[in-house]
Amino acid sequence: MLSPARRHLMRQSAVDASQQVSGPLRHANGYELMMLKLNEDKRTLKKVRSMEKKADIKRRLLPDYAPWVNGVLSEGRGAQDAILMTVMIWRLDAGDITGALAIARYALRFGLVPPDSYKRNSTAYLLAEDVAEAATRAWTAKDAVDPAPLLATLELTNAEDMPDQVRAKLHKIIGYVLRDAGRALEALEHLKRALQLHDRCGVVKDIERLARELRNKASR
């Protein structure tokens, strides 16, 4: 657990580092110290094979990075930041979509990209796919899924380029979540859009069933 003084130092270091737009962040001592911690935490994670256990570890580690993230988001000027982008991804892995979106808005505003170790070099692409997959895992496990962050992700990435299949994943899970929330008409539109983007995304029967339910309801 970090002390208040350490948390304050991390936050201020993040502000100082992110404001150095004209120079590489590697020259910022605060950034270097945080990168040392990040690399150590990555080594810990690399030893774990279970994705579920990795997610649990990330949930425990993420509060340590909160002061850094808060410092960048409050006063940063858009310097590329591997710490910030890794935290965004870890938040997605841990199921914290709302927290990831806070970073994603900043990243897309300034054109930040994921670290080189991630195969997808587009923030929007990574965000849309990981949000869709995280929500799908939760929905499949019958956990409550809030549609608001999913819709926010869709809006945030709407103008960005990514594979159609990825956007289809997002529309598909939004459709299921809205259907479960009793918003059938909206759900149908998202499922139809998913099918338009990827004709093998597995929603044909769901579309037929939902359309039939809506017709029956309208005829009563």
> Alpha-carbon torsion 108, 106, 129, 205, what sign?
negative
Backbone phi, psi, residue 172, to 5° = -65, -50
- For the entire predicted model, the pTM comes to 0.82
Please indicate, yes or no, whether residues 109 and 123 belong to a single structural domain of this protein.
Answer: no
Joined tokens for residue 65? 């990075």
Structural domain ending residue among the three candidates 65, 99, 116? 116
Quick one: 45 and 109 in the same domain? yes
Sequence-separated (6 or more) residues with CB below 8 Å from residue 106: 72, 73, 76, 78, 84, 112
Q: Per-residue pLDDT tens for 84-142?
A: 999 999 999 998 999 999 999 999 999 999 987 676 679 999 999 999 999 999 999 99
Residue 202 DSSP class:
S
Out of 96, 116, 136, pick the residue that ends a domain.
116
DSSP state of 27: G
- In angstroms, rounded to a whole number, what is the distance separating the alpha carbons of residues 147 and 93? 18
Structure tokens at 131: 């949000």
Same domain, 160 and 186: yes
Cα–Cα distance between 25 and 179 in angstroms, integer? 46
Successive 10-residue mean pLDDT values, the chain, 220 residues: 55 53 52 92 97 96 96 91 95 93 96 81 92 94 94 96 96 98 97 98 97 89
> Which pLDDT value is given to residue 6?
55
Tokens of 42: 């990555």
Q: Are residues 128 and 112 in the same domain?
A: no
pLDDT score, position 31: 86
- Looking at the fold, whether 111 and 28 belong to one and the same domain comes out as yes
Instruction: CATH number of the domain at 130, please.
Output: 1.25.40
128 contacts 151 by C-beta, under 8 angstroms:
no
pLDDT at 22: 42
- C-alpha 148: how far from chain center: 13
The dihedral region occupied by 111, where left means phi > 0, alpha psi between -120 and 50, and beta the remainder, is left
| pLDDT score of 184 | 96
Q: Does residue 86 sit in the same domain as residue 166?
A: no
Gap between the Cα atoms of 198 and 194, Å rounded: 6
Q: Is the domain of 53 the same as that of 111? A: yes
**Amino acid found at 36:** L
Cα separation, 14 vs 176, in Å, equals 39
Instruction: State which of 116, 140, 168 marks the end of a domain.
Output: 116
Same domain as 48, residue 108: yes
- CA gap 192, 198 in Å, rounded: 10
Please give the residue range of the domain that contains residue 150: 119-220
Regarding whether 134 and 88 lie in a shared domain, the answer is no
Q: Do residue 125 and residue 95 come from a single domain?
A: no
d(CA 10, CA 69): 9
Number of domain units in the chain: 2
Residue 185 sits in the same domain as residue 216:
yes
Same-domain status, 127 and 71: no
